[in-house]
Structure 1
Amino acid sequence: MSDKLLYLASRVANGVFSFATLAYLTRTLSPDQYGKYAMAITYASVISGAFYGWLAISVGRFFYAYERLDFQKKIAELFLITSGIVGILGFLGATFYLKGYSQQEKLLVVLATVTLAGHTISLQFANAKILPLIYSFQAISRLALFLALAIIITSQGYSLSLILGAFIVSCLVPILVRPQFSYGKPSGSMLGVGKKLLLFSVPLSMTLISTVAIDAVGRYFIHGMLGSAAVGGFAAGYDLAQQSMGAIMNVFFLAYYPKMVAKYEAGPEEAKESLPGLLKALQTDLFFYGAIQFCILYSAATEICAILLGKEIAPSASSIIGYVSLGVLLNCMKAFYFDVAFMLEKKTWISLFIMASMVVFSVVFNYALISIFGVSGAGFTLVLTFGFGVILSWFMGRKIIKFPNSMPDILRNLTLTLIACTICAFVSEDRVWLALAMKISAVCAVFGSYFIYARWKRSLPRAG
């Protein structure tokens, strides 16, 4: 419980700075300027996940399988090799995805990709070592520093190059202050380890970046069909949902996954005894708290966007945030719960197949629906794509490990969601803050009542 609370506190602080940054930039930048910034950061995130994600996953999965100092040196060595590849291929990809950007801006996006990857891997080392305080420091300090630098830069005028420079600095400083990498030549026992990590983790890394990759597909089509200004509204709504719902849902995964790996590595008997309980606890937390967040984002989209976002961007963002939040919820269920089967059993090629299927699905439906419904078409596509991914991951994952029965949790939370959203629909209040407070109170009352009832029911003595 203490680890979960520490990660939760970290995520709350991250959320505060993320929302503050989102609010500041959407108020300071025009929709077109914010759209260009969002496209650049999305590209950096996708390339970082695609090329370095396997290293971050390897840290979480194999940290306890090798001698720790040697393993850290091996990861650092592989990171430097990968960075050389990214320097070339990342820049070439930027010329295709970031049309209309200067050569300097493209180069800075590539540097942002490398530094973001270094920061992410450093966080994974802290998590694998079960050091939530260091994890929290590195995560929070990056966001806080970027916000401070963005305020200084934009107060002097708009410059995408300087904003990207601030992003790079904010990734570098935390890992230099509390470094988690170890540099040097790894011992001979690490020969061949890189290939093993690659074969295991590359397919899985493709899965874990599915949220960003599929979002990037939507932004690409919006940018090409409707322009950068339209990307600004979609990106603001998506970032708002992802930074709130995705970040909090990740808390539970971070709290449970290292324990699952430790139990699994302890042997079949230990895994058989402990894994079902951990899976059930993870399922309960993800589904219940995910439903709460979805209810709030869906029911209070207009009020939340009016408060957090700039006036030019808020209307378009609020129009798609309901679809986006449902898509994010579905993807969290897939990535943080059903995909655990592929991680533990090292059958990550299945994840790669699912990810490829989802990308193809996303490309087809984005092209078709954006041309008909505009930006809303990208929101529809997110729901359809991630729903498709959940079905595939559940169907294939259940053949590998036995999941606890999910249907009671799904039906119960669906019922609570319908009740809460129905109540919120009757809230009529012109004052934005009061309307938001009333809707959040209604959602919390519905789910809180069930939570109290469930705790009371569990406390009753069982017959026999």
Structure 2
Amino acid sequence: MFWRGVIGYLPVNVVQGVVGLLTIVAFTRLLTPAQFGDYALGISVMALVHTAVFTWNEAAMARFWAGESGRDGGADHSATVYRAWLLLLAVLPIAALIALALPMTPSLKLAVLVGLATVAPRTFVKIAQERRRAAGEVKSAALLDMGQTLGGFLIGVGLALAGLGGAAPVAGLGLAALACLPFILAAEHRQQAGGQIEPQRLRSHAAYGVPVALSLILALVLSTTDRFLLSAFLDESAVGVYHAGYSLANRSLDVVFIWLGAAGGPALIMALERGGRSALAEAAREQAQLMLLLTVPAATGLALVSAPLAKLMIGPTLSAGAGHVTPWIALSGLLAGMTTYYFHQAFTLGRRTSLLLAAMAVPAATNVALNIVLIPRFGLDGALWATPASYGLGLAASAFLGRRSVTLPIPWITLAQAVGASGLMALVVSRIPAVGGLLELLFKAAAGALVYGAVIALVDAGALRSRGRDALSTFRARSAT
């Protein structure tokens, strides 16, 4: 199931990667630094409300579907999840009234209100995606993801050209989700037809999902507090510079982690439910090896080419500062991705989500404390230093506490191979002259990929050659059907 998902979600990964970069290229040019800061804060509020109110319900759909689908086709399960979603919608107008009452600039208030309006359609589509992923319906889940990603970008660009400012990219996300609804409403209605809401089931969903949501809130605190504190201690322009560099690094890595996570999460649940702990350990080791072999060099490469990449991708008013931000966030993104998409799986697999909450509390609190101390004294650099330190602490806490739920293997040999090959890659790339522009970026990227790929192939790290043949066979089989 894992390799089928890896192949099936590859187009999603490509679309997300391209759109993620185009988002930075377009909106750092179409928006002023202050408007880009409004966008960053508006989308952060959207994410916080989504996570705080709706994510526990989405998590329950994903985790329990494999066990419930064999009973009445999962109708009771789906009915309970969707009825809960309807009840939760009542929070959104309350949040909008609070936003209206808060002292904010008109442009920031508009971005926040638009972000709140996008939550309803995006959460409905998210539930439908989680059901499809859990059921192994890769094509359907992938199409939903690509439709929202590409549609949200194109609509957002149009709205930015029309003068909507920082609210434009956020509004694009909501309108793209609305456009997906006609394609999924009938199927989701059929899925829950005849299903009954069961209070006991809802309680079990909440017992499992609420700690997940709370931990994700802490993750958002970890990833967004710096923006709010930069706005408080400095201004929206500083937020824009930080968010531009953060997005450039984080989105480049996120597309890889999200791709592997979309395939890996359901595969681990299936392995545990149907094959037990031994099957889980084998599947988890395979996933961890592939994650390390792809993301360690990606983070290293981003740090090495941060300056020419920022000049090429980001508007001139933000590029210099963003180039300084990118290497720090590349390290943070690697630590955050391994934590979220690998070590956090132990808590969901073992249904010990209260431990997940504990694992996230320490780095979130540390991040807030470090930013409060460092930003007033060191400005933007203070936020940059606080971010990787907090994520590193989060990884250590998750790895330690996760062993009390489900023990996930750590492929130390593969980690050493990935780090060693990345070190050789960095040595070679650092010797290439900084000629600037696209030429420097392409030359360094090609040289780095060639050196890293040669070393990994030479040592056959993670048995990648044989697994690559298996993946190719899967792709050919899918293409033949």
Normalised by the size of structure 2, how large is the TM-score? 0.88
The 3 A distance-change label for structure 1 pair 227 and 88 is same
Q: Distance in 1 between matches of 2:462 and 2:394?
A: 35
Amino acid at match of 2:422: T
Encode CA deviations 1:254-277: one digit per residue, 9 max, x unaligned. 2122122122223xxx21331111
8 Å contact from structure 1 (residues 72, 182) kept in 2: no
- The match for 2:16 is 14
1:250 aligns with 2:284: no
Structure 1 residues 123 and 278 mapped into 2: Cα distance closer, same or farther (>3 Å)? same
**Are positions 1:215 and 2:223 aligned together?**
yes
Equivalent position of 2:179 in the other structure? 173
Deviation at residue 148 of structure 1 after TM alignment: 2.1
Shift of 1:350: 0.8
3-state secondary structure, aligned to 1:75: helix
Alpha-carbon separation, structure 2, partners of 1:49 and 1:403: 26
Matched, 1:117 2:131: no
Shift of 1:326: 0.8
Question: In 2, are the aligned partners of 1:294 and 1:325 still within 8 Å (CA)?
Answer: yes
SS in 2 for 1:402: coil
Question: Does 1:29 pair with 2:70?
Answer: no
Aligned to 2:283: 278
Q: In the superposition, relative to structure 1, how do residues 7 and 185 fare at CA in structure 2: closer, same or farther (>3 Å)?
A: closer
Partner of 1:79: 85
Match of 1:232 among 224, 230, 240: 240
Change (3 A) 1:90 1:329: farther
CA deviation string 1:127-184 (max 9, x = no partner): 1121222222111111222222233223233444555433321121113323453376
Of residues 67, 75, 78 in structure 2, which corresponds to 1:69? 75
Q: Contact 1:276 / 1:404 at 8 angstroms: preserved in 2? A: yes
Q: In structure 2, list runs of 5 or more residues that go unmatched.
A: 467-481
Is 1:354 matched up with 2:359? yes
Aligned equivalent of 1:182, options 189, 196, 204: 189
2:345 corresponds in structure 1 to 340
Name which of 324, 334, 339 aligns with 1:329: 334
Instruction: Name the CA shift for 1:315/1:91 in 2 (closer, same or farther; >3 Å).
Output: farther
| CA positional deviation for 1:212 | 3.4
**Aligned residues of 1:291 and 1:414 also touching (Cα < 8 A):** yes
Q: Which residue of 2 aligns with 1:449?
A: 454
Q: 1:411 & 1:290 partners in 2: Cα distance?
A: 13
Residues 17 and 252, structure 2, Cα contact 8 Å, conserved in 1:
yes
Whole-angstrom distance in 2 between the partners of 1:377 and 1:453: 41
Question: What residue is the counterpart of 2:370 in the other structure?
Answer: 365
More moved, 149-158 vs 59-68: 149-158
Matched, 1:404 2:409: yes
CA distance in 2, matches of 1:457, 1:148: 39
Confirm whether residue 156 of structure 1 aligns to residue 162 of structure 2: yes
Contact 2:300 2:330 in 1 (8 A): no
User: Any idea what SS the aligned residue of 2:67 has?
Assistant: coil
Q: Which amino acid aligns with 2:154?
A: A
Runs (4+) off by over 6 Å: 183-186
Distance apart, 1:209 and its partner CA: 5.2
Structure 2 CA distance for partners of 1:286 and 1:209, relative to 1, 3 Å:
farther
Deviation at 1:186, TM superposition (A): 6.2
Q: Deviations over 1:290-336 (max 9, x none)?
A: 11210121000111111111111111111011111111110111111
The answer as to 2:310 corresponding to 1:305 is yes
User: Over aligned residue pairs, what C-alpha RMSD do you find?
Assistant: 2.4
1:29, 1:158 within 8 Å by CA — same for their partners in 2? no
Letter matched to residue 83 of structure 2: E
- Give the conservation status (yes or no) of the 8 Å contact 2:301–2:445: yes
Q: For residue 283 of structure 1, what is the amino acid of its counterpart?
A: A
Instruction: Report the AA paired with residue 74 of structure 1.
Output: T
| Alignment partner, residue 470 of structure 2 | none
* TM-score under structure 1 length normalisation: 0.91
Aligned AA (1:6): G
The answer as to whether partners of 1:46 and 1:216 remain within 8 angstroms in 2 is no
Distance change in 2, residues 1:95/1:9 (3 Å): farther
C-alpha displacement of 1:339: 1.3
CA contact (8 A) 1:246 1:328 kept: yes
Q: 131-140 or 87-96: which moved more? A: 87-96
Q: Which stretch shows the higher mean deviation, 424-433 or 186-195?
A: 186-195
Letter in 2 for 1:118: F
> 1:130 aligns to what SS in structure 2?
coil
Return the alpha-carbon distance in structure 2 between the equivalents of residues 337 and 103 of structure 1. Answer: 37
- The AA in structure 2 aligned to 1:80 is L
Shift of residue 422 of structure 1?
2.4
Structure 2 match to 1:263: 271
Residues 45-64 of structure 1 mapped to structure 2, 5 A cutoff: 45-64=47-66
Tell me by how many angstroms 1:100 deviates. Answer: 5.6
Q: CA separation of 1:351/1:154 partners in 2, compared to 1, >3 Å: closer, same or farther?
A: same
Distance 1:91 1:195 in 2: 29
1:251 Cα deviation after fit: 1.6
**Would you say the 8 A contact 1:76–1:181 is kept in 2?**
no
Q: Equivalents in 2 of 1:456, 1:193: separation in Å?
A: 44
1:390 maps to 395
